Amino acid sequence: MTGDDDLTVPAGATGTVVAVYADGAAFEVEFTDPIDTLATVEADTVCLVERAVR
């Protein structure tokens, strides 16, 4: 997948969902490691690792 700034996000990268589009069909995800970028990610490619506690 490619981030908004054309950087390649490697498979398995962990990020934080910062926006939800079309009732969960896609997400805007902020990645910080191994690269710093935002990417729009289709829901079928996302795997929940940990849920934030509110």
Task: For residues 23 and 4, give the distance between their C-alpha atoms in angstroms, rounded to a whole number.
Answer: 21
Q: What domains can you pick out in the chain, each with its CATH number?
A: 1-54 (2.30.30)
Nearest to 29 by CA among 21, 54, 6: 21
Q: What is the pLDDT of residues 1-54, one digit of tens each?
A: 889 889 899 988 989 999 999 999 999 999 988 889 999 999 999 888 887 777
For residue 27, the cross-strand partners are 20, 41
For 42, the token pair is 């289709």
Q: DSSP class of residue 2?
A: B
Query: Residue 28, CB half-sphere, CA atoms under 13 Å: how many?
Result: 7
Instruction: Dihedral sign for Cα 36, 42, 48, 52, please.
Output: positive
**Can you give the pLDDT at residue 30?**
95
